[in-house]
Structure 1
Amino acid sequence: MPVINPTKHTFDHFVTEKSNDEPVVIAFTASWCGPCKLLKPKLAKLANDWGFTLAMVDAGDEPELAALFGVRAVPTVITLEAGLSKGRFSGDRTEAALIEYFGELGLNQSPVRLEF
């Protein structure tokens, strides 16, 4: 699934509305944040492997979105389902911890999809 970079102008369409059909993982990060740089590729890999949409939001560029979700530290990861927060955490995690976390939320790994 795609990694998207929504803005306050596109967020409702690309994230909130999409969360009505499937969970969307939102990662609030910042370009200067060391733990964010470690977490982002792990999240992108899981989004690709598991088939969920990952919305990467730079909290510095989009402070209104960060405030809307009560983000006080980066990285903060929020899973949105039907427009509501289903779960959240702050800080970096190992890939194994991310797999366990997303599994507990019901974002089970998707089977491999072949496109012809």
Structure 2
Amino acid sequence: MASNAVAQLDSSSFAEFINRPEPVLVDFWAPWCGPCRALGPTIDKLAAAHPGRVAKVNVDDAPEIASKFGIQSIPTVIVFQNGQPAEVMVGLRPEQAYADALAN
């Protein structure tokens, strides 16, 4: 994974990504979701500002992960710390809300 790229997680890479002491942000999305596509540039900016700490999960490709975390609406962004959800944001939010959650 390039240091400023958004990691694409699946069931084999998800647990390792979220089980870290520093906060990491995961965007649950799907390609057919308009608001998810609108959030894309914000996620890319966050990934550039926080290398290796931003990832996406396509809920169509990894429904088991979405189910485990109760994802019912997308986009849903969860900030994890030590494998646990620290903050959950459903729907579009201002860019600063995501940046603040990742910084805490």
Normalising by structure 2, we get a TM-score of 0.85
The list of structure 1 runs, each at least 4 consecutive aligned residues, that deviate by more than 3 angstroms after superposition, is: none
Distance in 2 between residues matched to 1:12 and 1:45, nearest whole Å = 23
Structure 1 pair 30–100 and aligned structure 2 pair: CA distance change class (3 A): closer
% identity of equivalent residues: 34
SS at match of 2:103: coil
Q: Which of these two proteins has the greater Rg computed from alpha carbons?
A: 1
Pairs aligned (count)? 101
Retained in 2: the 8 A contact 1:28–1:77?
Answer: yes
SS class of match (1:55):
strand
Structure ranking higher on relative contact order (CA contacts 8 Å, 6+ apart): 2
- Mapped partners of 2:51, 2:24: distance in 1: 10
Task: Name the residue aligned to 1:102.
Answer: 99
Where in structure 2 are the equivalents of 1:29-68 lying within 5 Å? 29-51=29-51, 53-68=53-68
Instruction: Give unpaired runs (5+ residues) of structure 1.
Output: 109-116
Match of 1:23 in 2: 23
Q: What CA distance in whole angstroms lies between the structure 2 residues aligned with 1:50 and 1:9?
A: 22
Q: Does the CA contact (< 8 Å) of 1:25 and 1:52 recur in 2? A: no
Q: List alignment gaps of at least 5 residues for structure 2.
A: none
- Calculate the aligned-residue CA RMSD, in Å: 1.8
Alpha carbons 1:5, 1:56 under 8 Å: kept: yes
Residue 8 (1) aligns with residue 11 (2): yes
